Amino acid sequence: MRIIRNDPFIKRRATLARYISLGSMGVLLLGLVISFSNNIALLPISFAALILGFIGSQVGLYLSNRYSRADRPDEVLAKSLKGFDDRYTLYQYTAPVGNLLLTPNACIVFVVKLQAGAIEFRNGKWRHHVKGLKRIFGFMTQETLGNPGQDAAIEVSSLHRHLEKKLPGVEVPIQPVIVFGNPLADVDAGTSPVPALHAKKLKDWLRGAGRSGDLSTEAHAQLVQLFEPREA
């Protein structure tokens, strides 16, 4: 399998995550220091600093999870897909979506989640079961699961718009997939309308149900030309 990854982009985002995280800690500390003072007039500034610091910490956490940690989404996918031949190309931060696999049959768009614990899809909703202190303080170290199905829809829509602009009239089958990359994730996708599975099962899925799609040879060549980075 070929992997084309935008390493400078990842490095810039990792640096940004570090600066935002450090800055947010400083703002939070400032807010705490002011809150312990006896100056009532400064309390609004304290509240503002605490709110801004918290928001900044969440932004830093979001960026860190994607671009700084050892098991980044791009690393999880590269490891999980190892073994495919050169008919498969994994584009990471070079295409309109973060992680895209161009297969002989279709474009596979990945949404990678890194939460640990029990995760299930029931009655049209995703739920992440967290126990004990992690339920109270987990938001400080781990992103919330959110709505993976909606995330997938946004990614597919973004790719559709790009292809309609760059390759009008070209039929491109697009398949979203939700991948859970944490080794400690226990996934029960139930009746999820979007295929959802643990990273360790991704290769088998691509060799089975994931082989669907009728991408033509000509369209495949056009996609390669579109997604390949151009040399300066």
Q: Show me where the domains of the chain are located.
A: 2-67, 73-227
At 69 the three-state DSSP class reads coil
Mean pLDDT of 42-69: 88
Give the largest Cα separation in the chain, rounded. 72
pLDDT at 99 over 90: yes
The span from the CA of 26 to the CA of 21, in Å, is 9
In the block, tokens 């709505």 appear at: 147
Euclidean distance between CA atoms 9 and 43, whole angstroms: 40
- How far is Cα 181 from Cα 209, in angstroms, rounded to an integer? 20
Using a pLDDT cut of 70, give the percent of the chain over it: 94
Buried b (16+ CB within 10 A) or exposed e, 69-94: eeebbbbbbbebbeebeeebbbbbbb
The domain 73-227: what is its CATH number?
3.40.1350
Q: How confident is the model at residue 232 (pLDDT cuts 50, 70, 90)?
A: very low
Look up residue 180 and give its two tokens: 């859970």
> Other C-beta atoms within 10 Å of 161: how many?
11
Tell me the average pLDDT of the chain: 90
Report the pLDDT averaged over residues 145-167.
95
More confident residue, 196 or 62: 196
- Kindly indicate the confidence band of residue 40, based on its pLDDT and cuts at 50, 70 and 90: confident
Q: What's the rounded mean pLDDT across residues 156-174?
A: 95
Residue 153 confidence (pLDDT) above 80: yes
What does 183-197 look like in DSSP terms, one character per residue? TTEEEE-TT-SS-EE
